[in-house]
Amino acid sequence: MAGLPVTEGEVAFDAPNAGKPCTTWYKVVGDLSKSSDPVLIALHGGPGAGHEYLTSFTDLYEQYGIPIVFYDQIGCGRSTHFREKLKDDSFWTVDLFIAELDNLIDHLKLRDRGFYVSGQSWGGMLAGAYASRRPQGLKKLVIAGGPASFPLFVEYGKQLRAALPADVSEALEAGDRDGNYESPEYEKASAVFYKRYVCSLDPLPEPVTKAFENLKNDSTAYLTMQGPSEIVVTGNLKDWEGWKDAHNIEVDTLLLNGRYDEVGEFCVEPWGMVIPRIKWIVFEKSSHMAHWEERERFMQVVGTFLKSY
């Protein structure tokens, strides 16, 4: 981001039942004082993956002049961590992250100027849930690889695993039976799944590698809400059905996923059926990270959508 106007900061966040002071770290790309146009807020996945793997979104500032707000959701990166809250279902909730997002928006005084929200993976789920509440100031919504239903995501994951080579599928099943998700065999098999359905680039972009490092460094939120991996879902999101409230979304919405995405059409289709004003695009050469795998086209699609009226 050399040469780009960048501002970093922290905002205090009164997280319910946190038991300690909490802050959300954020970064703004673009000078908010020089424009009154809406700002794009980027919601990362995980939970716990951190903001770095979304930094390709800076293209939208360079090419379309859209200021970008990145932030690390609590529990990861440079925001407050809560390792002591492992498996605390009453703390790690969708409502917690919605409250954090609202707090950041108010701190940056974005209500009157307006803002866009773009969420990727878990961030797409969060974005959909947030937009369903019709927040003041929201102008447009982008859901990228965000399942509309976690039960559908789990079911689709089973289909993807069944399509893997027999030895890979057997290694994954053995890990599930034994509960050993850190054996060399299981990690090797998981890598095959991730290469096919999460990010197909080789080598992985350094910011994507950073997401996996963030999750390894502090997996508290991920383990509690998702489970041991993208393949094994045991967390408190397992019954989440965000599409059931999505008919309340009033803003224009862009729905995106990859042809080889772990969050396939089966998982995102309910968004398309219930959100009143929605456009759905599938990236034919991508898995779960089209913002890297088809970066140029992805930014063109998103930038055009956000700048159109």
Give the active site residues: 121, 261, 288
d(CA 284, CA 183): 33
d(CA 140, CA 142): 7
Partnered with residue 61 across adjacent β-strands are none
DSSP state of 253: E
Q: What is 65-91 written as a DSSP string?
A: ---EEEEEPTTSTTS---GGGTT-TTT
The structure tokens 């108010």 sit at 106
Strands (E), the chain: 6-12, 23-29, 39-43, 68-72, 115-120, 138-144, 252-258, 278-283
DSSP state of 184: H
